[in-house]
């Protein structure tokens, strides 16, 4: 049973987007991001683990609307729309596919990206539609710093079933 809980938690942690690593302003042109996350997950069964995941992102836009694709275990397709200077609405769809059917299904996330200077915050909600027909909700809050071609952020993801996920993420961003 303990092995099953460990494998399930490992897959759960990898399915949820851990890193935001996007600035509040939509990109103008194209941008490639390379980075990674350290993720610490604790479960209601008092089991926890630390995991490292690479991050790859690509974004293109006109400065007011951005389309983005990122991969951190599963692919995430997103769109970001500027609402005001330093404030954007960001939404995405992650396709979580794993060998375990109960840990597969699309994950929709919607959040804000708000920034002042180099600092930004991103509160967001994730809704997971499992392949087994039930829906789960998760809440995420991220605080980040981005200057030039580098970003560093920390975040927390809370699940209704007692899941706690903390992440520390960083990336290098290259304009194309």
Nearest to 19 by CA among 135, 147, 158, 143: 143
**Residue-number span of the structural domain to which 81 is assigned:** 1-175
* Predicted pLDDT of residue 162: 77
Taking the C-alpha atoms of residue 131 and residue 109, their distance in angstroms, rounded to an integer, is 17
**pTM of the entire predicted model:** 0.86
Token digits of residue 60 = 């293109």
Number of domain units in the chain: 1
* Predicted pLDDT of residue 159: 83
Across 29-61, b (16+ Cβ under 10 Å) vs e yields eebebebbbebebebeeeeeeebebebebebbb
**CATH number reported for the structural domain that contains residue 73 in this entry:** 2.40.230.20
pLDDT tens-digit profile, the chain (176 residues): 555 555 555 455 455 667 899 999 999 999 999 999 998 888 777 778 888 889 999 999 999 999 999 998 789 999 999 999 999 999 999 887 666 656 678 889 999 999 999 999 999 999 988 777 878 888 999 999 999 899 999 999 998 777 788 999 999 999 99
* Predicted pLDDT of residue 49: 80
In this structure, how many other beta carbons lie within 10 angstroms of the beta carbon of residue 160? 9
């Amino acid at each position: 049973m303990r092995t099953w809980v460990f494998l399930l938690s490992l897959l759960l942690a990898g399915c949820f987007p851990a890193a935001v690593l996007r600035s509040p302003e939509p990109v103008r042109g194209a941008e490639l991001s390379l980075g990674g996350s350290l993720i610490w997950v604790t479960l209601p069964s008092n089991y926890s683990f630390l995991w490292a995941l690479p991050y790859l992102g690509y974004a293109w836009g006109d400065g007011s609307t951005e389309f983005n694709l990122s991969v951190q275990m599963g692919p995430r397709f997103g769109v970001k729309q500027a609402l005001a200077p330093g404030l954007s609405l960001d939404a995405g769809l992650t396709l979580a596919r794993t060998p375990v059917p109960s840990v597969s299904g699309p994950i929709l996330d919607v959040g804000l990206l708000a920034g002042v200077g180099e600092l930004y915050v991103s509160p967001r909600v994730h809704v997971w539609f499992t392949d087994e027909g039930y829906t789960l909700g998760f809440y995420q809050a991220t605080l980040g710093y981005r200057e030039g071609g580098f970003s560093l952020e920390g975040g927390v993801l809370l699940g209704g079933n007692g899941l706690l996920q903390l992440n520390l993420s960083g990336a290098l961003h290259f304009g194309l």
